[in-house]
């Protein structure tokens, strides 16, 4: 059994830390997760249609609802929390290799993590893309069109369907972006999986990439994940207080560890 003091020592001794972050790191900032007890899909399973490319493309009603949800997204008023700033501290000490994030909220960059260290494998809510010509626009500009009454705005260049510049179900990851993520997982001595259920592939598989290259793997998540057996330690305390304590060398207790 290893406790949080051991994990804090691993962090203190690490030269290259790669963090993989999921929705759980942003819940303290007021952004709900998806699969937790109060998650978006837990409360409303039908909402998954809004994040499924086939439904989005084929059904104008889905697109109209998606645009209204984007207008009301918590990211527009959210602010980074202590866990985001803990990763900024790691960078300040020269030990952060990369932050691979499944989040689309931009809070890592807002906290101060360098743009070139953040790898957004699921894209960004701050951009809009055309599914026909590939043009990209600022989300803020497109939301102004929605607010003015254009419920399903089309591409201003080709008339194609617009969606957020994020990865939907049924949409492949950008190969170059995932290649960067895989390289960061393979080139670290400590891999922190923070606030992610590790249930979405291929990103979840980065845990095994890091482990096979000899990195220690620590999972910080409220609920068990499919990779707990691979990890050197798993901790389940609230991330907003746990991660700053670990980075600062404080102590905590694991729910389980291996």
**pTM score:** 0.89
With a cut of 60, say whether residue 251 has pLDDT above it. Answer: no
Q: Which residues are annotated as a binding site for Zn(2+)?
A: 130, 133, 155, 158
CA distance 100 to 235: 19
Considering only 3-17, 165-179, 226-240, 242-256, which range has the smallest mean pLDDT?
Answer: 242-256
Express each pLDDT in 150-184 by its tens digit.
999 999 999 999 999 999 988 999 999 999 999 99
Determine the average pLDDT of the residues in 210-227. Answer: 96
With a cut of 90, say whether residue 53 has pLDDT above it. Answer: yes
3-state secondary structure of 70: helix
The answer to whether 254 and 232 have CB atoms below 8 angstroms apart is no
Give whole-number Cα distances, 177 to 102, 120, 174, in Å. 12, 7, 5
The catalytic residue positions are 122
Percent with pLDDT over 70 in the chain: 90
Percent with pLDDT over 90 in the chain: 84
Comparing C-alpha atoms, which of 16, 164, 14 is closest to residue 103? 164
> What pLDDT does residue 253 have?
33
More confident residue, 249 or 184: 184
Tell me how crowded residue 54 is: count the other CB atoms within 10 A of its CB: 13
Q: Which residues are annotated as a binding site?
A: 130, 133, 155, 158
pLDDT band at 102 (very low <50, low <70, confident <90, very high): very high
Sheet holding 256-257: strands in order across?
Answer: 118-120, 96-101, 17-21, 190-194, 216-220, 233-235, 256-257
More confident residue, 124 or 249: 124
Express each pLDDT in 58-76 by its tens digit.
999 999 999 999 999 999 9
Express each pLDDT in 29-45 by its tens digit.
999 865 555 555 445 55
> What pLDDT does residue 203 have?
96
> What pLDDT does residue 252 have?
36
> What pLDDT does residue 49 have?
77
The answer to whether 84 and 25 have CB atoms below 8 angstroms apart is yes
Express each pLDDT in 191-213 by its tens digit.
999 999 999 999 999 999 999 99
């Amino acid at each position: 059994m290893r406790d949080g003091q051991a994990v804090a020592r691993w962090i203190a001794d690490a030269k290259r830390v790669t963090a993989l972050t999921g929705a759980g790191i942003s819940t303290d900032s007021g952004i709900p997760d998806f699969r937790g007890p109060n998650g978006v899909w837990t409360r409303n399973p039908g909402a998954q249609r809004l994040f499924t490319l086939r439904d989005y493309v084929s059904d104008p009603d889905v697109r109209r609802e998606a645009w209204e949800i984007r207008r009301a997204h918590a990211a527009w008023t959210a602010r980074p929390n202590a866990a985001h700033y803990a990763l900024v501290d790691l960078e300040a000490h020269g030990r952060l290799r990369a932050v691979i994030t499944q989040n689309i909220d931009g809070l890592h960059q807002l906290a101060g993590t360098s743009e070139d260290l953040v790898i957004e494998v699921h894209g960004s809510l701050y951009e809009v893309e055309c599914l026909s010509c590939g043009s990209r626009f600022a989300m803020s500009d497109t939301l102004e069109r929605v607010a003015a009454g254009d419920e399903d705005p089309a591409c201003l260049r080709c008339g194609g369907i617009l969606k957020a510049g994020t990865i939907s179900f049924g949409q492949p990851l950008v190969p170059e972006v995932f290649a960067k993520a895989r390289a960061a997982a393979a080139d670290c001595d400590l891999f922190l999986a923070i606030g992610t259920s590790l249930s979405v592939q291929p990103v979840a598989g980065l845990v095994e990439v890091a482990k096979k290259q000899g990195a220690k793997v620590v999972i910080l998540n409220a609920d068990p994940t499919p990779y707990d057996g691979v990890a050197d330690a798993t901790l389940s305390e609230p991330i907003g207080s746990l991660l700053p304590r670990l980075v600062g060398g404080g102590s905590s207790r694991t729910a389980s560890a291996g």
